[in-house]
Structure 1
Amino acid sequence: MNHPSLNGELIDLRAGDYEARIAASGATLVHLRRQGRDLVIPFDADACLPGAWQGKTLVPWPNRIAESRYTYRGVDYLVPCNEPETGAALHGLVGWANFAVVDEPGADGAAGADPFPAAVTLALSVPASYAYPWALEITVRYALDAEAGLTVTTTSTCVGAAVSPAAGVVGAPIEDGAPAPAPYGVSCHPYLTRSVPLDECVLQVPADRILDVDAHMAPAGERDVTGTDSDWRAGRLVADTATDNAYTGLPADDWQVRLTGGEGDRSVVMSAAVPWVQVYSAEHLGRRGVAVEPMTCPPNAFNTGQDLIALAIGQSHSFSWRMWEED
């Protein structure tokens, strides 16, 4: 069942006890529920915009570019500032772009069939710009499974790069006579919830290290979490602890972040296999949950180069994450 809204086309998915709603604007996860219980903080996509980047797809960089500028392979670029309080460029270029619905497997309309598909694929073309002179083709696939829950896969392909035709017109760096690969990172922005205040929940994050930030939310150095209130490895009550930091030192294979509490003391679990995760205690949403953002690179990677992906013309990168509820 699809219909238009303030957030673009809305697509409802269902499989077993799970149901989800996806908005075309930003390829956004509007809600995810199991047996009527919210696994992420929902919003009313027919009447409201999401708060604090709820559910958005973050491409071609997650988190922040400090001071809204970056130097990549010797070329300087300016990026529009969308976080005036820090002066940063936040969460990439596609959070408010209107993706097209290109595939809805299972919605065949047969008599007696479930009218809700179990999966949908959305697609977007991002043209080259002064801020980012590479062109990307992006798909985001949301798939529900009655047992496995929600799996989301974001695939980006670099389809070209603009070169500088004259002084004063920015382009991709030229290396060995050809445009350099695109700098690239990807993430997502769901807020896990148990429908009770975050302070009453137990949070588990299997990360050994935390990235501290300065007053402008720019990286200020890594440290070990051992013996600090940033150590969530064993799982503990959140209480009044606040965090808005990137964590690393994660297991090399799929890792899991778990939020437990509320009705039945169940857990919502998120898994991914990337080296970073941003954990934010959702003060902008009244601490009703916690943002868990698996990231391929840390904040400001466009400047530091740390864990930055170089996406050559014609090359694709895929990133997947999964979310489910445990009884």
Structure 2
Amino acid sequence: MVLKPRTGNQYSIRKGEWSAVVTELGASLRELKWQGEDIIVPFDPNKVIPCCNGWVLAPYPNRVTDGQYTFDGEDYQMPIDEFDRSASLHGYAYRYMWQLEDLGESHVMLSWRSPDLAGYPFDITVTATYALEEDGLNETFTVHNNDSVKAPWAFGIHPWLANGKRSVGADITPDNEPCRLTIPCDTHVTVDEHLLPTGEEPVSGIYDLRDNPTLEGRGFDDAWTDIVDRDADGGTSAVFTRPDGIRVTLTGDKTINSWQVCTGNEIGAKVRQPGVAVEPMTAYADAFRTGKDLVVLEPGDDYTTRVTFRADRV
């Protein structure tokens, strides 16, 4: 018997100067290259995905305190993924093999229907489409509520934007620091020792990323909200510029309300990634508990989020 990779089938797509690989496991974006350069940090298809690389974060991104929430008058308990923080992390979709719906030379579409889970019994189907164009990667994620009851929903993705180097562990910090990052937000989300939200504050000091600063002296696993400088269609863009002159623009549509950034400074050396995680989200952590920016899917509802990757040289 020939074994397929442990992350499932690998769906390779290509167009012009761009190429990408999406895995059957979690519909994760395993690889994205432009002009032969890694735009995201890739991972081994035969090993555990090291640090949420390329995950589709559904039906919620980030953390839920104690894995507990109340929705429409009912209480729910989800599994605790981070015992030291007593939190559930990044939903369920990354744990499952997704069904291939369509595959072409430059696009792939996969879907996942949620099982009847004790912590999330709602019947939803999520469709992920990755489509390469001459100017970059377009991602479209649509959730459909198959159920006869309302369902809670929040969403994000977890790309690690490559810094252009291949260092490991603590050596990643000096590689990240010359990189520049723009996050167009007026508000920083404060957290406790478990990285769970405690409030919001106006951006200042190291948390003001509106003017494209370097990451020198900036170590984050933080969220920002109150997005400014949206485009005419309501889109929002984070811009990551590497010392080698490659500039990556990650744009989320009008459904994106927050950005999460993780430089990985506190992550264990074995799984730390040579880059910076820049995560567009429809809602930041604990949305299932707080209701902030939570989407309530009515029976039969669809909800779509679109994200694009672009790259150029400066």
Taking structure 1 as the reference length, what is the TM-score of the superposition? 0.86
Say if 1:199 and 1:286 are closer, same or farther in 2 by CA, change over 3 A. farther
Could you say which residue in structure 1 is the equivalent of 2:235?
Answer: 254
Could you say which residue in structure 1 is the equivalent of 2:147?
Answer: 160
Q: Is the 8 A contact 1:198 1:287 kept in 2?
A: no
In structure 2, which of residues 187, 203, 215 is the aligned counterpart of residue 238 of structure 1? Answer: 215
Could you say which residue in structure 2 is the equivalent of 1:135?
Answer: 123
Cα drift, residue 286 of structure 1: 3.8
- 2:134 aligned with 1:126: no
Cα drift, residue 158 of structure 1: 0.9
Could you say which residue in structure 2 is the equivalent of 1:55?
Answer: 54
1:219-271 superposed Cα distances (whole Å, 9 cap, x missing partner): 01100013x110110011101311111111113421211111232x1201101
Could you say which residue in structure 2 is the equivalent of 1:282?
Answer: 264
- 2:160 aligned with 1:191: yes
1:298-320 superposed Cα distances (whole Å, 9 cap, x missing partner): 21011101110000111111111
Could you say which residue in structure 1 is the equivalent of 2:38?
Answer: 38
Could you say which residue in structure 2 is the equivalent of 1:217?
Answer: 195
Specify the code of the residue in structure 2 equivalent to 1:33: K
Could you say which residue in structure 2 is the equivalent of 1:28?
Answer: 28
Taking structure 2 as the reference length, what is the TM-score of the superposition? 0.90
Q: Distance in 2 between matches of 1:132 and 1:88?
A: 15
1:10-59 superposed Cα distances (whole Å, 9 cap, x missing partner): 011100010111001011000100111111111121x3222111001011
Q: Is the 8 A contact 2:63 2:196 kept in 1?
A: yes
Could you say which residue in structure 2 is the equivalent of 1:320?
Answer: 306
Specify the code of the residue in structure 2 equivalent to 1:305: G
Further displaced range: 191-200 or 292-301: 191-200
Q: Distance in 1 between matches of 2:66 and 2:27?
A: 26
Could you say which residue in structure 2 is the equivalent of 1:145?
Answer: 133
1:249 partner SS: strand
Q: Distance in 2 between matches of 1:323 and 1:224?
A: 28
Cα drift, residue 71 of structure 1: 1.4
User: How many aligned positions are there?
Assistant: 292
Cα drift, residue 204 of structure 1: 1.2
Q: Is the 8 A contact 2:196 2:286 kept in 1?
A: yes
Cα drift, residue 287 of structure 1: 5.7
Q: Is the 8 A contact 1:193 1:268 kept in 2?
A: no
Specify the code of the residue in structure 1 equivalent to 2:74: V
Greater radius of gyration (CA): 1
Q: Is the 8 A contact 1:206 1:233 kept in 2?
A: yes
1:99-124 superposed Cα distances (whole Å, 9 cap, x missing partner): 0111013xxxxxxxxxxx10000011
Q: Is the 8 A contact 1:190 1:293 kept in 2?
A: yes
Percent identity, please.
29
Q: Report the RMSD for the aligned CA atoms in angstroms.
A: 1.4
1:172-228 superposed Cα distances (whole Å, 9 cap, x missing partner): xxxxxxx3x1111111100112313211211111111110110111101100013x1
Specify the code of the residue in structure 2 equivalent to 1:195: G
2:289 partner SS: helix
Q: Distance in 2 between matches of 1:21 and 1:316?
A: 26
Q: Distance in 2 between matches of 1:126 and 1:237?
A: 41
